[in-house]
């Protein structure tokens, strides 16, 4: 039986407020055996850690501040994240990084917040869950300053170019893929990226409730939530990778699960 690990779900999102437990059960029924809740702010990381604690061995959490939330970063943030990272089920620092696509936080603030989290990851020696959107060259420049001391890192929801993927892989980073890879119109270039990435460096995620894979049949979508992505749909992400690489679904399930387990020490 194939088993899957979703390395990124936003379970505290409003779209899950009424049925989060059902969403987790549906994922388990779909052989998604472990899930990591993405922390995007101090408060949200605290909430994610609290939920994850209720599902020992199944749910885990990251602790971090998304670049969109960098404006909330203050003198207490790092101590608050550090307290969360003492918990065994809080397995990763992030998501953190730079996002110049929408600039919801000023860029200098984003950099300050990102650097502080890189230093935090070095201090606590837990792997990094990175976010980069439309900020590649600045992101690389900032990250390079810390590279020799950095723990393992995954660039989540990768949608960049093949050249960018190569740069990340050369640094030893992993890449996380979402349902974006099934959007052959918007993300056609991801085909060659997926084909290039070695099987021992890829992980899969839904980034639910966002990034609904195009190949999920309409009949599987939850009533009243026709556009909501769920961790139960993770096998469709694996299915797209398998198809693009011309290998069996079991091959992608096995490698992505092994990678995630070793990376996050689940």
Least separation in angstroms between CB 1 and Zn ion: 30
Residue placing its CB nearer to Zn ion in the complex, 19 or 47:
47
Nearer to Zn ion, 47 or 258 (CB): 47
Q: Which is nearer to Zn ion, 95 or 230 (CB)?
A: 95
Cβ count within 10 A of residue 71: 15
Check whether the bond before 209 is cis (ω within 30° of 0): yes
* Residue span binding Zn ion (CB under 5 A) among the ranges 17-25, 125-133, 167-175, 215-223: 125-133
Report the half-sphere exposure of 201 (CA within 13 A, side-chain side). 20
Distance spanning both ends of the chain, measured CA to CA: 19
Q: Is 1 exposed, middle or buried (0-12, 13-18, 19+ CB in 10 A)?
A: exposed
CB of 14: closest distance to Zn ion in angstroms? 17
Q: Which of 89, 126, 131, 255 binds Zn ion (CB under 5 A)?
A: 131
Judged by CB under 5 A, the chain residues 95 through 114 that form the site for Zn ion are 95
Shortest Å, Cβ 10 to Zn ion: 9
Q: Is 132 left (phi over 0), alpha (psi -120 to 50) or beta?
A: beta
Please say which residue, 129 or 236, places its beta carbon nearer to Zn ion: 129
Nearer to Zn ion, 64 or 239 (CB): 64
Which C-beta is closer to Zn ion: that of 205 or that of 230? 205
Exposed, middle or buried by CB within 10 Å (0-12, 13-18, 19+), for 122?
middle
Closest distance of CB 97 from Zn ion, Å = 7
Query: Which residues, 6 or more positions from 163, have their beta carbon under 8 angstroms from its beta carbon?
Result: none
Comparing CB distances to Zn ion, the nearer of 233 and 242 is 233
Contacts of 197 (CB under 8 A, 6+ apart): 165, 169, 175
Instruction: Return the residues of window 236-255 that contact Zn ion according to CB under 5 A.
Output: none
**Segment interacting with Zn ion, rule: CB under 5 A, options 22-30, 89-97, 118-126, 219-227:** 89-97
Least distance CB 191 / Zn ion (angstroms):
21
User: In whole angstroms, how close is the CB of 230 to Zn ion at the nearest point?
Assistant: 17
The region of 71-79, 92-100, 216-224, 239-247 touching Zn ion under the rule CB under 5 A is 92-100
Query: Does the protein bind Zn ion through residue 89 (CB under 5 A)?
Result: no
Minimum distance, C-beta of residue 248 to Zn ion, in the bound complex (Å): 29
Provide the mask over 39-68, with x wherever binding to Zn ion is found by CB under 5 A and - wherever it is not. ------------------------------
Widest distance between CA atoms in the chain: 50
Residues that bind Zn ion (CB under 5 A): 95, 131
């Amino acid at each position: 039986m194939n088993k899957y690990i979703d390395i990124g779900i936003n379970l505290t999102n409003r779209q899950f407020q009424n049925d989060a437990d059902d969403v987790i059960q549906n994922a388990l029924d779909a052989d998604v055996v472990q899930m990591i809740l993405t922390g995007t702010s101090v408060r949200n990381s605290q909430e994610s850690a609290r939920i994850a604690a209720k599902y020992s061995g199944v749910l885990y959490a990251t602790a971090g501040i998304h670049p969109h939330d960098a404006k909330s970063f203050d003198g207490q943030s790092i101590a608050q994240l550090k307290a969360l990272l003492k918990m065994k089920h809080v397995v990763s620092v992030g998501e953190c990084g730079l996002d110049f696509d929408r600039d919801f936080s000023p860029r200098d603030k984003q950099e300050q917040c990102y650097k502080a989290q890189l230093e935090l990851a070095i201090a606590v020696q837990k792997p990094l869950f990175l976010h980069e959107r439309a900020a590649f060259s600045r992101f690389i420049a900032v990250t390079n300053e810390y590279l020799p001391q950095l723990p393992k890192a995954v660039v989540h929801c990768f949608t960049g170019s093949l050249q960018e993927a190569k740069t990340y892989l050369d640094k030893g980073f992993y890449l996380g893929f979402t349902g974006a890879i099934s959007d052959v119109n918007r993300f056609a270039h991801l085909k060659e990226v997926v084909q290039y990435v070695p099987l021992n460096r890829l992980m899969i995620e839904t980034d639910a409730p966002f990034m609904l894979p195009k190949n999920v049949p309409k009949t599987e979508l939850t009533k009243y939530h026709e556009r909501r992505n769920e961790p139960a749909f993770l096998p469709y992400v694996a299915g797209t990778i398998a198809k693009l690489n011309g290998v069996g679904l079991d091959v992608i399930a096995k490698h992505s699960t092994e990678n995630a387990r070793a990376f996050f020490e689940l």
